[in-house]
Copies of this chain bind each other. A is one copy, B any other.
Amino acid sequence: MSTVKGARARARTEITAAIKDEARRQLAKEGAAKLSLRAVARELGMVSSALYRYFPSRDDLLTALIIDAYDSLGAAAESAQEEVAVAEPLARWTAVCEAVRGWALAHPHEYALIYGSPVPGYTAPQTTVPAAARVGLVLIGIVRDAHEHGGLTVPPLPAELLGEAERMTAELAPGLPPEVGAALVAAWAQLYGLVGFELFGQFNRVVEDREPFFRHAVVRLAHGVGLRPGLPGERA
């Protein structure tokens, strides 16, 4: 697709991109709360009302930025994963987690935009779902590989959780044991807790040397989903 297109359509995509770029710049500098449509327009040399030809509202602009942020984070996670051999699932796991943390520290406001407090009443449109899922899919893939090659050991579930664990595992990681699926979702949320606490200042005056702390926490998270240091597959 993306045929030659007339000058008008070309201009439209270019201007749309320019608006998003400028908005992202303001977002990175001042945060979502201070992102002003008028300021973006001003910086681009256009008048504020013209901007509404491209984004029907401020929320729509933010939504576009959210999708981009999810994609950027997902891409970071994917490329981190690809740099470690499949046969070393624990190393893959930690690499991905550290990539997530690194991305968050490099793009704090964008991380806050996607994982921080959502605007009340604002429910993310379905458009964001695929982009948002990418990091989760990476983690699922790592654990699935480990499961197929080596086997995972996770303590059994309490009876009250069994049904729900089976349901959600079947839906998002079919083939994995339900204990692993449940542990995976929990680990995902906990990873987000670790990153968020550091990013949002909750570790100030508590944890000083964050990298080793995070590394260790993430390894223990991996243990929680059954990934163990030695014997990942022996025979890849």
- Report A's interface with B, CB cutoff 8 A: 30-34, 108-109, 112-113, 115-121, 123-124, 155, 157-158, 160-161, 163-165, 167-168, 172, 182-183, 185-186, 188-194, 196-198, 200-203, 206-209, 212-213, 215-217, 220, 224
How near does chain B come to A173, taking the closest CB pair, in angstroms? 11
By beta carbon, the residue of chain B nearest A158 is B216
How near does chain B come to A115, taking the closest CB pair, in angstroms? 7
- Asked if B213 and A182 sit within 8 Å, CB to CB, the answer is yes
Distance between Cα atoms of A158 and B209 in the complex (Å): 14
Known contacts: A194-B190, A216-B182. The answer to whether A200 contacts B164 by CB under 8 A is: no
Q: In the complex, what residues of B have CB within 8 A of residue A109's CB?
A: 120
Report which residue of A168, A201, A212, A224 has the largest number of chain B beta carbons within 10 angstroms of its beta carbon. A212
Distance between Cα atoms of A158 and B202 in the complex (Å): 23
Distance between Cα atoms of A222 and B70 in the complex (Å): 31
By beta carbon, the residue of chain B nearest A133 is B206
Q: In the complex, what residues of B have CB within 8 A of residue A192's CB?
A: 193, 196-197, 202
Distance between Cα atoms of A172 and B202 in the complex (Å): 14
Q: In the complex, what residues of B have CB within 8 A of residue A213's CB?
A: 161, 164-165, 182, 185-186
A-B contact pairs, 5 of them (CB 8 A): A31-B120, A161-B212, A161-B213, A183-B220, A186-B213
Q: In the complex, what residues of B have CB within 8 A of residue A116's CB?
A: 116-117, 200
By beta carbon, the residue of chain B nearest A120 is B31
Known contacts: A118-B200, A192-B196, A213-B161. The answer to whether A186 contacts B220 by CB under 8 A is: yes
Pairs A-B, 10 closest by C-beta atoms = A193-B193, A116-B117, A31-B120, A112-B117, A190-B190, A189-B197, A164-B209, A186-B217, A161-B212, A160-B212
- Asked if A207 and B33 sit within 8 Å, CB to CB, the answer is no
